[in-house]
Amino acid sequence: MPTVKASECVACGACSDVCPQDAILIEDVAVILGDKCVDCGACIDECPACAIVE
């Protein structure tokens, strides 16, 4: 499952917009909901800050 590097996340919402499972909430940083995430990697590819890693 992808993880968010909080120190690099700018909470832009790009990952949330592209997530097909609505598994990402945007708070101070992106939060990936493990019970919804299907590990597709779309958020990793979309993050402009490279803050989401496998």
Q: H helices then E strands: how many in the chain?
A: 2, 4
Which amino acid is residue 36, in one-letter code?
Answer: K
pLDDT tens digits for range 2-14: 999 999 999 999 9
- The pTM for the full model equals 0.92
Give mean pLDDT, residues 26-41.
98
What is the CATH T-level fold of the domain 3-53, as seen in this structure?
A: Alpha-Beta Plaits (3.30.70)
Looking at residue 39, its pLDDT comes to: 97
Average pLDDT, the chain: 98
Domain spans of the chain, in order of start: 3-53
- The identity of residue 28, as a single letter, is D
Q: What is the average per-residue pLDDT within 36-52?
A: 98
Q: 């989401």: which residue's tokens?
A: 52
Paired strand residues for 26: 30
